[in-house]
Structure 1
Amino acid sequence: MPAVHYRLRWPDASVIECYSPSTVIRDYLRPHTRYALDDFMALARAAYPRAAGRVRERFGYECSSAADQLAELERLAARYAGCPDAAVDVLDLE
């Protein structure tokens, strides 16, 4: 199953590399797109369980990397809680 690597720019201009164990992330995020933080997190919360499920369907086990990546996104997003204009840029999806 092809994995997807992508980069995000957070409201403080920091850039991180992210991982999805499935191409299903492409159903949720678009490259070169800015998302309001709450919208981005809603998409991530929908995408990662689905990606883990696709791995489970194919290999018989869920990919713990999907849960780990979502937890990291949650941790980072919490920094900007209460910032009404906070946005996340999806720089690329490979």
Structure 2
Amino acid sequence: MPEMTFAVRWPDGRESTLYSPSLVMHDFLTVGERYPVSDFVGRTSEAFAIASERVRAKFGFACTSAMHSEQTIASAAASYADGDVEVVAMEPGLEPTADGGGA
């Protein structure tokens, strides 16, 4: 199962690098985009739930690293009443498809 990391910049300029056990995060976030804090938390929470279920289906247990990343985001987000979170990097990126889009 492919795994990935993604880096974000919080409203105060602080950056965090987080882990996902699945490339599903690409379905919820885009590099260079800014998301209101609450939207970012919702998007990543949904993506982590999907990723953790993929791990459970393959290995028989949930991914504790995904749960840790989700908790890290929730804790950091609680520090901000408003503002945007910018996605600064996602590794690996998506391979372009024949039509020029991502996978």
TM-score for both structures, normalised by structure 1: 0.92
Higher helix share: 1
Question: Secondary structure at the residue paired with 1:19?
Answer: strand
Q: Which residue of 1 aligns with 2:95?
A: none
The alignment covers a number of residue pairs equal to: 91
The list of structure 1 runs, each at least 4 consecutive aligned residues, that deviate by more than 3 angstroms after superposition, is none
Question: Secondary structure at the residue paired with 2:41?
Answer: helix
Question: Secondary structure at the residue paired with 2:31?
Answer: coil
Write the distance in 2 (CA, Å) between the matches of 1:54 and 1:24: 10
The alignment status of 1:51 with 2:60, answered yes or no, reads: no
TM-score for both structures, normalised by structure 2: 0.85
The alignment status of 1:92 with 2:89, answered yes or no, reads: yes
Identity value in percent: 36
The alignment status of 1:79 with 2:79, answered yes or no, reads: yes
Give 1:2 shift.
1.0
Give 1:10 shift.
0.2
The one-letter code sitting in structure 2 at the alignment partner of 1:37 is: V
The alignment status of 1:23 with 2:45, answered yes or no, reads: no
CA RMSD after TM alignment: 0.8
Give 1:58 shift.
1.1
For structure 2, list consecutive stretches of 5 or more residues without a partner in the other structure: 92-103
Bigger relative contact order (CA 8 A; separation at least 6): 1
Q: Which residue of 2 aligns with 1:2?
A: 2
For structure 1, list consecutive stretches of 5 or more residues without a partner in the other structure: none
